[in-house]
Amino acid sequence: MERFIEVEPGVRLWAEESGKPDGEPLLLVMGANAAGLAWPDPLVAALGREHRVIRYDHRDTGRSSRVFHDQPYPITRLASDAIAVLDGLGLARAHVAGMSLGGTLVQLLVLDHPDRLLTATLWSTAALGAWSPTDGESRALPGPDPALLELWQHMADPRDREAELDWRVAHWRLLRGDGPFDADESRRLEERIIEHSGGHENPAAHALADPSGLDRGPELAKVRTPTLVIDARKDPVNPPPHAEHLASVISGARLVVVPELGHALGSDVVPALTEEILRHTRR
């Protein structure tokens, strides 16, 4: 079931519920500049056998309001939006799972809204404050693949639809790291997202948003929400040992490895990812 949720005056987010209607809610929080449809249907369906699954479009993605260029907002506002989605659906608490920037947002949720979370699952992300220039240990962590840094410089360049599709497929190829990559699968996904969004333009809003308020790594030691960190061994954005570092700074976090997981979700990693998420939410 699809619906729109007004999170503040003039800003509404597209959301979709599926799966087991009476199952415990599971909110999926996607990464930067990515629509909710970037969550693969097979993953959503597999999780839905046990959960009421919610995926949604961040503001400035998919069918949600495009507001950044007129009303700039900080990254932290996206975490508030996640709670607004729960409010809009009348959900007091939910399991939450996030990857990439979504993992950053889930860390903010376990700090600021622990009463709303049943469990938290994170992967392909860095600990809050991991890039702080005052933290010597974090400074030693490896950065993204230089090829990605170069590609990101052209994220918002104007392109026609076919050129944009080519750029997105090339982006997914790099995000898979040295794991297996299905270009046709990625292209079909992006064609769906473009149709869902009503256009192919990428405003790159989240890349431009103010990142202040994310340097809160020391607070993670006080987390009490049951947290799973999945080590995506082929992640070229937050490569090892980022996951180990993240699990070490979150109080009580459990670390598991999905060897073929990168910074993108192909059908080949869905079974292992599903198994780890469900094993955690059952606990």
Token pair for 108:
């903010």
**Of 58, 171, 206, 263, which is the active-site residue?**
263
Task: Please state, in angstroms and as integers, the Cα–Cα distance from residue 137 to each residue in 128, 132, 154, following that order.
Answer: 13, 10, 31
Q: Is 182 a catalytic residue?
A: no
Q: Rounded distance, CA 275 to CA 283, Å?
A: 13
Amino acid identity, residue 244?
A: E
**Of 65, 100, 124, 186, which is the active-site residue?**
100
Q: Is 100 a catalytic residue?
A: yes
**Of 235, 242, 245, 280, which is the active-site residue?**
235
Token pair for 235:
């992640």
Q: Is 135 a catalytic residue?
A: no
Task: Please state, in angstroms and as integers, the Cα–Cα distance from residue 121 to each residue in 51, 98, 155, 194, following that order.
Answer: 14, 6, 28, 28
Alpha helices (H) in the chain, listed in sequence order = 41-47, 76-88, 101-112, 136-139, 146-152, 161-175, 183-197, 205-208, 242-249, 270-282
Catalytic residues: 100, 235, 263
